[in-house]
Amino acid sequence: MTVILRDYQNEAVKEVRTAWETGTQRPAVVLPTGSGKTVPIAELARLALDEGTASRVLVLAHRDELLRQAKEEIHSVAPHLRVGVVKADENGVGAPVVVGSVQTLRHEARRGLLRGVGLVVVDECHHATAPSYRTILDHFGCFTEGGAKAVGFTATMSRGDGVGLREVWQSVVYERDIRYMITRKFLVPPRGIHVRVEDLDLSKVRKSAGDFSEGQLGDALAASLAPERIVDAYREHALGRPSLLFVPTVEFAELMVERFTTAGVTARIVHGQQVPVVRRAHLDAFKAGRVDVLVNCMVLTEGTNLPMASCVIIARPTTHVGLYVQMVGRVLRTFPGKTDAIVLDVVGVSQRHALVGLTDLMGEREKVKPRPEDLELGEDADLPEEEDTSGGYRDRAWLDGFLISSEVDLFHGQRARWQRTYGGQWFAPYGKERYVTVVPALSGSEAWDVLSVARKTMGESDWVAREIEDLGYAMAHAEGVVLQLPSSLARRDATWRAKPASQAQKDLLRRFGAVLPPGALSGEAGDVLDIVYASARIDPWARRR
C-alpha cells in the first residue's frame, strides 16, 4: 500500500525543492527520531526520477538497518521504482534508486560503477563531515556548481566532536522538534525518572574525543551500585514494559544480562561485534515479546525501529546532547496500546541535557492581579517552621537503604529549577523568598494557572497568567518571571548547586526527618528543602480548588 505523507513530511519535501530551485545545492532537514524521515527521503527520490531531474538517485547510509529501512520505505512510497542495494557483495548499481553503504562506496572502484547520479540523499547526515562521506559527495559533484544535488536528513543536527556541519550542509531548510510531534500525537509523551546511584563517581573518568571514555565508564559502573539500582529501577518503575538499556561496554552489557536474569527478568544483549544473525535473532525475540529488556552497547541509537519499546534505561552518560536525544527517541514511536514512555536515567544525563527548550515557546502575556476571593489563602496554612522537628515528610525524602528516585522534566530547556510538590504541583524558586507555581485552572477547565506565592509566610500572592491551555506554555510564562531576577537561587545552573551540601543544610533537613545520602550536593539538599516548604505552602491551597 502506498504511504500517504503527513503534513510536515510534505512541507519538508516542498522546502527542500524550493531550496534547490533558489540555488542551495546542499540543504538539510531536521526531524526527530520516530517521525518517519525516511518517507520524505523516498518522496524526494520518486519526484526526482518521475520529473527527470535525476536519472539515478543515491541514498547514502552507514548502517545495514538504515539501508534496509530506506529500501522498504521507498517501495512503500513509490512501488513502481526499482531499488538496488550496494553493500559488500551486493551490487545493484543499475537500479534507478540505489541505497548505498558509506563503508562500501568510500572505495573508488565501487563508486566508479555507479553512474548518472543526479541526487544524493544522506540519512543521519550529522555524520557527513567524515572524510568517507566528503569523498563520496565530492565524487558525484555535490560541491561543484552543476553537479549532483544533495540533501541531508537527521534527528540531531550536531556532532560531539565540535566539527562544524556547515562545511557540508549550507542551511537547515525545515525543522520540527520532539515537542511538536508529541503535541500532534505523532510521538508518545515521555516521563523522566532519575534514579540516584549513591556511590557512582565519574569525576575520574577521562574524556576521549570530547566524551567519556567508554572503557572507564564501564569499569566505574561495574564497581558501583549501578547494576543493582538498574534492576531495582526497572522492577519499580517499568516492570512489564518492553525496555531498552543503553550501556557503554559489552562487558557491562553482559553483566546486566546476568543481573536481570538472576532477578527473573528476561534480557538479551545486542552489540556491534555480534554475528548479524545472532543480533537479528535477539531483536526478533524482543519484537515478539519474548524478551523484557534489550541490553545494547550503542547499536540502537540510529535507524532501529522498535516501536513496541516503552522504556529506555540510560546507563551511558554522555556529554553529547545528540546522542542523548537519539537514545530517548528510541522509545517515543507510537504503537497500539502504547500511551507514553518512561526514561529511567541512572547516570544524571537527563539533568545535563534537554530534549527541547521550553524557552522557545515563551511569549508575552498580560499579568493580572488575583481577586481576594480567588486566593483563599489564610494564616492557618500548614507550613512547617525551620525549627519544626516533625517527621511528617520522612517517607518522601531521601532515605538511606531505599531506592532514591525523582521525576525530572525531560523538556527542561528552562534554566529555572522546576520541581514538584508532594501533591504533584509544579513549582520553581522565585528569588529568595517566593515560588512560582503551575496549578490546574481555578475555573475547573482543562487549563493551567500560574501563581507567585511566598516561600514561608502568607505574604501577597499574584497571578502570573490564567487559563493557559498547554502545560508547556504555562511553565514558560512562569519561567519568564523567575529569570527576570538576578538571584542565582532562581537558576538551575547556579554554581553553588555543584558544591557539597553544607552542615547547616544537613542539620535543617534532619529536623524535618530527611537524611541525605553520602556525597549529596548543595543543590540537591536545597531541592529537598524547597519541596518541603513548597508542599506545605501550595498543596493545601491546591486541594481547596
Could you give the domains of the chain?
7-176 (3.40.50.300), 190-350 (3.40.50.300), 358-544 (no CATH)
Looking at residue 300, its pLDDT comes to 67
DSSP 8-state class, residue 275: -
- 303: region left, alpha or beta (phi > 0 left; psi from -120 to 50 alpha): left
pLDDT in tens, 357-370: 322 212 222 223 33
User: Is the pLDDT confidence value at 98 over 60?
Assistant: yes
Neighbours of 539 (CB within 10 A): 18
Distance of CA 367 to the CA centre of its chain: 32
User: Is the pLDDT confidence value at 400 over 60?
Assistant: no
Distance, in Å, from the CA atom of 250 to the CA atom of 392, rounded to the nearest integer, reads: 45
Label residue 355 by pLDDT band (50, 70, 90).
confident
Looking at residue 451, its pLDDT comes to 83
Chain mean pLDDT for the chain: 78
> Once rounded to an integer, what is the mean pLDDT over residues 38-44?
90
Q: Of 62, 76, 48, whose CA–CA distance to 150 is shortest?
A: 48
Highest mean pLDDT among 189-198, 357-366, 387-396: 189-198
Label residue 404 by pLDDT band (50, 70, 90).
low
Q: What is the pTM of this model?
A: 0.64
Q: What percent of the chain has pLDDT over 90?
A: 34
532 grid coordinates: 518541603
Highest mean pLDDT among 72-86, 184-198, 219-233, 400-414: 219-233
DSSP 8-state class, residue 382: -
What is the edge-to-edge ordering of all strands in the sheet holding 149-154? 90-91, 83-87, 97-101, 56-61, 117-123, 149-154, 27-30, 171-175
Contact in structure between 293 and 267 (CB atoms under 8 Å):
yes
Neighbours of 359 (CB within 10 A): 16
Q: Of 12, 31, 8, whose CA–CA distance to 173 is shortest?
A: 12
Q: What are phi and psi of 318, to 5 degrees?
A: -150, 150
User: Is the pLDDT confidence value at 48 over 90?
Assistant: yes
> Once rounded to an integer, what is the mean pLDDT over residues 96-121?
92
Contact in structure between 48 and 119 (CB atoms under 8 Å):
yes
In Å, how far are 3, 8, 73, 122, 234 from 78, measured between CA atoms? Answer: 8, 19, 8, 19, 42
Looking at residue 409, its pLDDT comes to 65
Distance, in Å, from the CA atom of 240 to the CA atom of 512, rounded to the nearest integer, reads: 36
Name the CA radius of gyration of the chain, rounded.
Answer: 26
| Distance between start and end Cα atoms, the chain | 52
Residue tagged 562506496 (cell numbers): 105
**Helices 226-237 and 214-222 meet at what angle, rounded to 10?**
80
